[in-house]
């Protein structure tokens, strides 16, 4: 009896051990699958971080390119002599051909394209935009995730375009900062950017008006540029300049420099003039990144100087423009675009290097004396009054506004990842 009982207990023990082994095997397989899933999830999380960092790099670079603000080595706005914009720091452009090229620095005799980089630390990005050398970033001190990205440019064979590529990393690694430790996940994305010029259509005259020009003042209009045909005034309506001085090409009669009754100009209203000369209809143009809007109750001179001192070049003035000089706005090397909505009066030694686009039904020049504009003036309406402005057609200034100033926007269908 005892022998049988022991035999039955041995069988139960064997079955129990077998079941225990099966349970352990199942647990081991489940644990292995769990570890695999955890590792796969962690890799996916790091890859997603790297990809999102690369996308953030594209968006950041586009925003920096759209801004005319002067920046320092940390990519933040700065108002010091010699400071440059993000675009001028990393890119060069030929205003005549609108061909972009990438600025370089010498690394032991090897020319290396300049790059910019950023790392996330806490709730903010910390960036580096060097004039020369590799980007320099401090490793974040706190624990946690610190994604980073670096951006680089490549020249395009197409006029007015540049290639922008961003590399994202889940941490500050060598792929996003030369000299840093290797490892981690990375992702790369690329887009083509095209220039939407500050001045989309090139005026051919010192003074262009969609309506008639009937000014009685002793204004001076000069255009000695052969490419523009020496046109001093161009209008959709008639032109009557009783006391004006006209300077045009040598051996060309002054009266022949006036081009009136242009059918295209005659059809323009404020909306169409904005689309033609600024490249977009008013509502969209007013939302362009980097465009500064200024409202002045009286003299705008001081406020404009503040904006221009910070590097801004495209300014919309909503309540009219009144300036009592002396003051110089813009320069031949860095001309400006002023878009004026409302009355415009310039007096007391005002000099403007750039283009003035007047978006109103009429520009009454009365009150504009001792003022000079080197570039061009475009009026969306008619021009009247006894003012005495000097407007000199400057093709080099207009080329700069058309070929280097403006907004770089994504070319449709150009996005790629690697």
154-181 per-position pLDDT tens digit: 999 999 999 999 999 988 888 888 877 7
Average pLDDT (42-67) is 89
- Going by pLDDT thresholds of 50, 70 and 90, the confidence category of residue 36 is low
Is residue 1 very low, low, confident or very high in pLDDT (cuts 50, 70, 90)? very low
The larger pLDDT score, comparing residue 19 to residue 68, is at: 68
Distance CA 127, CA 57 (A): 11
Q: Tokens in use for 206?
A: 């010192």
Residue 89: CB atoms within 10 A of its CB come to 20
Give the 3-state secondary structure of residue 122: coil
Q: What is the pLDDT of residue 304?
A: 94
Distance from C-alpha of 87 to C-alpha of 69, rounded to nearest angstrom:
10
Which three-class secondary structure state does DSSP give residue 322?
A: strand
Q: Are the C-beta atoms of 292 and 303 separated by less than 8 Å?
A: no
**Mean per-residue pLDDT for 351-374?**
95
pLDDT, one tens digit per residue, over 204-223 is: 999 999 999 999 999 999 99
How confident is residue 63, by pLDDT bands cut at 50, 70 and 90? Answer: very high
pLDDT for position 10 = 67
Residue scoring higher pLDDT (38 or 397): 397
In this prediction, residues 397-402 reach a mean pLDDT of: 94
Give the model confidence (pLDDT) of 102-143 as tens digits: 999 998 889 999 999 999 988 889 999 999 999 999 888 766
- Which of 247-256, 302-311, 372-381 is modeled with the greatest confidence? 372-381
Question: What per-residue confidence (pLDDT) applies to 39?
Answer: 67
Tell me how far apart the alpha carbons of residues 383 and 110 are, in angstroms, rounded to a whole number. 57
Q: If DSSP codes are grouped into helix, strand and coil, which group holds residue 189?
A: strand
Calculate the average pLDDT of the chain.
90
**Residue 363 — very low, low, confident or very high, per pLDDT cuts 50/70/90?**
very high
Q: Residue 38: which pLDDT band, with cuts at 50, 70 and 90? A: low
Report the candidate in 115, 156, 104 with the shortest Cα–Cα distance to residue 408. 156
Q: Is the pLDDT of residue 7 over 80?
A: no
pTM value is 0.83
Residue 143, pLDDT score: 67
Mean pLDDT in residue range 78-106: 90
Rounded Cα–Cα distance for residues 384 and 198 (Å): 27
Q: pLDDT of 249-259, one tens digit each?
A: 998 999 999 99
**What stretch of H or E contains 155?**
strand 148-155
Question: Buried b vs exposed e over 274-290: b needs ≥16 C-beta within 10 Å?
Answer: bbbbbbeebeebeebeb
Q: Distance between CA atoms of 147 and 358, rounded to whole angstroms?
A: 47
Bridge partner residues of 322 (DSSP): 299, 345
* Interval 70-90 mean pLDDT: 90
What size, in residues, is the chain? 418
Range list of β-strands (E), 2-160:
70-71, 84-85, 91-94, 99-102, 104-107, 110-113, 116-121, 124-128, 148-155
Share of the chain above pLDDT 70, in %: 94
Q: Residue 167: helix, strand or coil by DSSP? A: strand
β-pairing verdict for 390-393 and 220-222: parallel
């Amino acid at each position: 009896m005892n022998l049988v009982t022991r035999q039955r207990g041995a069988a139960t023990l064997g079955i129990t051990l077998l079941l225990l082994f099966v349970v352990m095997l199942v647990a081991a397989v489940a644990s292995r699958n769990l570890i695999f899933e955890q590792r796969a999830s962690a890799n996916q999380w790091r890859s997603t971080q790297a990809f999102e960092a690369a996308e953030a790099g594209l968006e950041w670079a586009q925003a920096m390119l759209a801004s005319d603000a002067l920046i320092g080595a940390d990519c933040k706005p700065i108002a010091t002599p010699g400071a440059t914009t993000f675009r001028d720091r990393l890119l060069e452009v030929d205003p005549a051909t609108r061909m972009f090229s990438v600025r370089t620095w010498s690394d032991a005799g090897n020319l290396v394209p300049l790059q910019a980089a950023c790392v996330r630390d806490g709730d903010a990005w910390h960036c580096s935009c060097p004039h020369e050398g590799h980007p320099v970033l401090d490793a974040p001190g706190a624990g946690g995730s610190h994604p980073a990205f670096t951006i680089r440019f490549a020249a395009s064979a197409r006029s007015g375009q540049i290639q922008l590529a961003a590399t994202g990393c889940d941490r500050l690694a060598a792929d996003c900062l030369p000299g840093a430790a290797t490892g981690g996940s990375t992702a790369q994305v690329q887009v083509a950017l095209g220039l939407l010029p500050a001045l989309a259509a090139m005026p051919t005259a010192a003074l262009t008006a969609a309506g008639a020009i009937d000014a009685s003042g002793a204004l001076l209009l000069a255009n000695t540029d052969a490419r523009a045909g020496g046109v001093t005034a161009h209008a959709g309506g008639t032109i009557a300049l009783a006391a004006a001085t006209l300077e045009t090409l040598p051996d060309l009669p002054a009266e022949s420099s006036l081009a009136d009754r242009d059918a295209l100009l005659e059809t323009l209203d404020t909306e169409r003039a904005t689309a033609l000369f600024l490249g977009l209809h008013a509502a969209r143009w007013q939302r362009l990144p980097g465009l500064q809007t200024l409202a002045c109750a009286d003299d705008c001179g001081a406020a404009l100087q503040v904006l221009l001192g910070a590097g801004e070049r495209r300014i919309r003035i909503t309540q009219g423009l009144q300036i009592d000089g002396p003051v110089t706005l813009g320069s031949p090397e860095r001309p400006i675009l002023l878009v004026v909505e409302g009355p415009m009066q310039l007096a007391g030694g005002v000099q403007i290097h750039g283009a003035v686009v007047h978006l109103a039904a009429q520009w009454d020049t009365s009150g504009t004396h001792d003022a000079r504009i080197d570039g061009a003036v475009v009026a969306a309406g008619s021009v009247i009054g006894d003012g005495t402005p000097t407007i000199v057609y400057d093709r080099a200034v207009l080329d700069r506004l058309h070929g280097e100033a403006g907004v770089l926007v994504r070319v449709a269908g150009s996005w790629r990842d690697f």
